[in-house]
Chains A and B, each alone.
Chain A
Amino acid sequence: MSFISLVSVEFMKIKRSRILFILLAATIILWLPSILNVHLNFGMQAEGISPENNFFIQGFMAMSWFMFPASMVVGTVLLNQTERMNKGIIKMLALPIHSMKLCLAKFMVLLALAAAQILMMAGMYYGSAAVCSAAQDYNFILPPVFVAKEMGLLFLSAIPMTAFFYMLSVSIQTPIFSVGIGLASIVPSVLIINTKLWFAYPMSYPFFVITSEYGKLAANLDTAQITLIPWIPVAIAVTLITLFISCIRFGQAERRE
């Protein structure tokens, strides 16, 4: 079985999971207050940021701080429980396929969920920007190339974090700990981005990337900027190590039974 067909099988498994509704609900709740408080964007000139940029980046910041990482934790619960609920994992492990491939196929689905939520976020952004532009008689819509760049940055920076959450859900059998550690680890990311060791904490990457973009857009605001070294090597190492541990631990508890 090729890797692509394995991934498509994984997609079929979550077809009726209603996860997309949860991801969508989060994005709707994200943009509603922005539409209601759109006039506040005009008061941000002191920071040297244009209203349309402020509207966009504030939404993305709110999302990347808590909801986006938390959605990924929910995604790991989904991937895990669909297999464990009716012992589907036993059947999976009995197939003549390398378990590493199965593990990575599931991770691909998780990344696809991340991408789906970012796409929904952008879709909702354009919808709400259009509504605000009409209501305020001011153009809030940003060029798609710029939005796509921010989306890509957010997605790439979320890969190590997603791999870490995936490792937690695969390696820890009791769901309360994998979920609890995952959710609890998101909360301090606000503090960690202000420290020098932010690069060692993958859960803070998406928020840090978006806040540093905010700093770039706001001329008078001096937010910490990303330093590619040692961030990129550390991020790659975190991703590889966590995925490696996930692959080793995948189905290990079930094989022992």
Chain B
Amino acid sequence: MKKNIVLLTSIYLISFWVQAQNSIDFKEVTLDNGLHVIMHKDNSTPIVAVSVLYHVGSKNEKPDRTGFAHFFEHLLFEGTENIGRGEYMNKIQAIGGTLNAFTSSDITYYYEIVPSNYLETALYMESERMLHPKIDQIGVDTQRDVIKEEKRQSYDNRPYGTILPETMKRAFSEHPYRWTPIGSMEDLDAARLEEFIDFHKSFYVPNNATLTIAGDIDYAQAEAWARAYFEDIPAGPDDFFRPDVKEPVKMSEIRDVIYDNVQIPAIIQAYNLPPKNHPDSYALEMLSTYLTGGNSSLMTKELVDKQQKALGVQAIPLDLEDGGVFIMYALTNMGVDPVELESEIDKLLNDVRTNGISERDFQKLQNIIENDLVSKNSSMEGLAQNLAEAHVFYGGTNYVNEELDYFRKVKREDIQRVAEKYINLDGRVVLYYLPKSAQSE
């Protein structure tokens, strides 16, 4: 691979970083009840994205009541005091909009994209579910069944579906990241209606939320409506339960085999990461791109193309507020012993740790990152989420305009440094997913 590099021209090196990101304009205000409102105006398409980010995820749950945040993601579609059961989704779709939500370990995020003349409707509806959602036994019972099927569909019945929960429960021994948002069905079965209502009161309040409005809007009108619908929602108590747990550094490797309904063995390695807003996160992101981003990346070229030991390999920095995990995920090619593939992965990881990366590879990484950042905010849906996360996780909404600067601060040596520091082969989790084989019932 190295020798080809000489053949390539160096013209592209010159233009590096010349292209500035288009600056993203926005306005923001914090209402008296603590709700933070972010607005972005773009009149090119007559649509508007409205989202509410609640700063609550599975890490805010009690160990014997896991799955609550995700449960709420479902429950808050059930209706409010003024919006009938089942009507929430119907209404948004019937005005030509689309809606969805997700729950992570850190946040719960609701959004809808509607024709811009329905902005007020969308704000009314989001305010309704913040003010007085209907949380009753019928909704709880139905959604409990739905979530069980979701778990079966997305985890139990899907080959390799349990990788994330199996990894997290080993990567974390103390921190609530040890369970994933889907949680435990036993906990959901055991929970009583009052507990759900209490959970809602503690977290789904304006002072724990960020409202984002992005698209075909008028700033003054959007703000006036946001105030009209949200300002009278009472703030909740400010003592949000945020786990203050320092995950102890692992001194020895945790290694396990999971027999699953799969045909192809998979290898998963997980390395604990610093908090997502840590300055090293940028170098770690670049490291993952160096390892598996693109066909010319180190591991794809070596393990998939050359040695053909892997069917595919991926490095995924799963960054979380209190520090997530850097996951290496590889599927073996036919007839390859996973032990053999893993030793090649380790060899390449050790190579980066010992020798770092070349100047040319570093320039390639910078080019890829620049391209990614330019494309990152191309849709109102994506931009709304990036604005909200900038505010909640990165100390200010203007982070969306500063992200490239943080990547620019990364030096070539930093890639090796973070590899040495975090990709610690002695304190990692390694899982093998192996076939149960031709089922003997």
A pairs with B: no
Give the interface of A toward B (CB within 8 A).
Answer: none
